[in-house]
Chain A
Amino acid sequence: MKTKTPAIPYVVWMAIFVVIPLFLIVVFAFTNFDGHFTLENFSNIDVFLQVFGNSLWLAFIATVICLLIAYPFAYLLAQEGPVFRKIAMLFIMLPMWMNFLLRTYAWMSILENNGFLNQFLGLLGIGPVHLINTDAAVVLGMVYNFLPFMILPIFSVIEKLDNRYIEAAQDLGANRRETFRRVVFPLSLPGVLSGVMMVFIPSISTFAISKLLGGGMSFLLGDLIEMQFLGSAYNPHLGSAISLMMLLLVVIAMLIMNRFGEGEEGAVIM
């Protein structure tokens, strides 16, 4: 059935609620409180490069850790029987249905100086570990919250891998490692890339995790932007400028990803 009209409401919707808001961000970024065109919002770049660097670094670490945990997990799980796989996937998704703030809040009780972890270590005679309100706690929060987002796409792709590719490789004389390196891994890349994007972007822009687990000691890009709109240093123009820069960062990251992957609507949805 070839008909374009059903799409019209959505096209209008997108114009109003996707395109215009982004346009407003650009407008705000290049104006000041008096409404005049200005570049002053971009003048303090050197100060903000520090925040960018820090956020990039933490997001990168979180993504790598997620990948290192998720890939073996997905690979090993794909080798289990179908019923086990299904149940395991459900239990991976279950935490996602609880609100992510609750999941982050849970770690506060664990990481505090008198928290669960230190009580446990105390029983073993190990001195208190000062984890709360550090970069490490924030990375931990990121990994915990976004790990399922890395597992799902990778598992989805590996599960659907055509077994014949592997058999063919083995028939042609490849051992396990070679089969993995030259057949399985490249074929699983779309899932990996999907997972990386679904972890990296939220990680680099989060402010809830850094507020709950960072306590003002781990100040990230998201915190900086939030501060300019609803926080302690109101300046929506500066906030828009920083948002614009974050937008650029995300676009660059996506372009790099697309270089590696096939690009297309590669988001692997269940």
Chain B
Amino acid sequence: MINKQVVDAQQAVADVPDGAVVGIGGFGNSGVPVDLIDALIAHGARDLTLVSNNAGGGEVGVARLLKAGLVRKIVCSFPRAADSYVFDALYRSGQLELELVPQGTLAERLRAAGAGVGAFFTPTAYGTVLAADREVRTFNGREQVMELALALDFALVKAECADRWGNLTYRKLARNFGPVMATAARCTIASAAQMLPLGELDPETIVTPGIYVSRVVHRSAPAEERSAA
């Protein structure tokens, strides 16, 4: 019998090695799997490369992971926020490397990795400093820059409902980067608010099919409350 549910978040992240490339879903505070991030901090793997649209705010979630000193590099589109002081200080002091990627290029590089595409051409960022060193080719009369697929070792995603096969649904706009990161990772770990018996999820409504998911954690109420705070 397939059962991807693991006992808790700690066990789910126990084999994340030093130097891993870890994608974390979320846009702002919505869709950020805070319970899995807290487990990753407790686990203590170092020199991580983090792929996340934002660099967190305050001292929870992604910001807490940065503050713990476990991240060497972050790949992201919009690190700046009103309360991104943890990121700002690490970046300004040179303790954290930043690879700034246009948001759509970030999503597409993940999608490419998930779909077995090695690289692609896009007009986004042509003629800008963010594509200064890219190969340029012209398609349909338009200059385009080559972008490489961005594969993840692990993806941490926040789901709403899951079953033991790893089929997932999401809650409203918390879906954001979760589904595409799940496709790009060698090992996707999902935190779900509800675990449902196999067959309870309507096949028409499943957003991430279980083939993309390795482990599911039924998240506990305290972590959920903290993520909402």
Partners in one complex: no
Interface residues of B (CB under 8 A from A): none
Contacts from A to B (Cβ < 8 Å): none
